[in-house]
Structure 1
């Protein structure tokens, strides 16, 4: 392999990978068929990765919700063994706010074969859909024109 002339310039074909557009965990991060276990593992991962201790997360959730959430409650949500302690939707939302880990939104969406994308990409997606539709219309138009020519 040839040595690059400039070691500070990226090779756009080898040194760059596009950023991930959707939010979520890596594919199959929480395998298994039992949804409650997968949710517990996702919560445990977020609590571990958020950079805050569980008391701080619980306090921030409590502030957002207007009632107390304890560190012990968070630990129960993160435990696969505590099958009677399922997180509610409002607490799940508060957990996302407290941790800043929007990967949990992607975790929910993936179960529906959907993706969650930041709002800044919304116009790009709509434009792509419009362009796809325009191509479909143009193809249909050409098909009809060819039929008309063939009928004459």
Structure 2
């Protein structure tokens, strides 16, 4: 059987991979000796990936917060060597709001065994939890059924 030629824009189902519900940095890009340095690397990665200039991001963060955020301060947040200036939670929130890069949150959540996902995935997770609970109950019911068949003596 000969294989039919495929159109170059046509996807092969075997090549398809679902998108991950968790957005994360490439681990090697944010690996650091301290949490502060890891966060600095993450800020730097986010600024590189957002498609905007740092001056534009600083202006947008200023508008978001209603307080001045300069490009120089943003550069310091993204610099591993600036241990004296670590981004605050309110400015991290502004950076999230401006860049929409949830990898910043995922970086911190993953350290605690959690994941940051879009809310649209919550019903699927709840369904999976319910199915797991039902499977546990089915096993318990089957165990009790076997006990009853055996005369209830255990």
1:3-152 pair list within 5 angstroms: 3-7=3-7, 9-13=10-14, 15-152=15-152
CA positional deviation for 1:10: 2.9
Give distance in 1, aligned partners of 2:148 and 2:12. Answer: 51
Give distance in 2, aligned partners of 1:70 and 1:6. Answer: 52
The alignment's C-alpha RMSD in Å is 1.6
CA deviation string 1:117-150 (max 9, x = no partner): 1111111111111111111111111111112222
Q: Which runs of 5+ in 1 are unaligned?
A: none
Contact 1:23–1:115 (CA under 8 A) maintained in structure 2:
no
Give distance in 2, aligned partners of 1:11 and 1:55. Answer: 42
Aligned positions, number? 150
Give distance in 2, aligned partners of 1:37 and 1:91. Answer: 16
Considering Cα pairs closer than 8 Å and 6+ residues apart, tell me whether 1 or 2 has the greater RCO. Answer: 1
TM-score, reference length from structure 1:
0.90
Q: Which runs of 5+ in 2 are unaligned?
A: none
TM-score, reference length from structure 2:
0.89
| Structure 1 stretches of at least 4 aligned residues deviating more than 6 Å after TM superposition | none
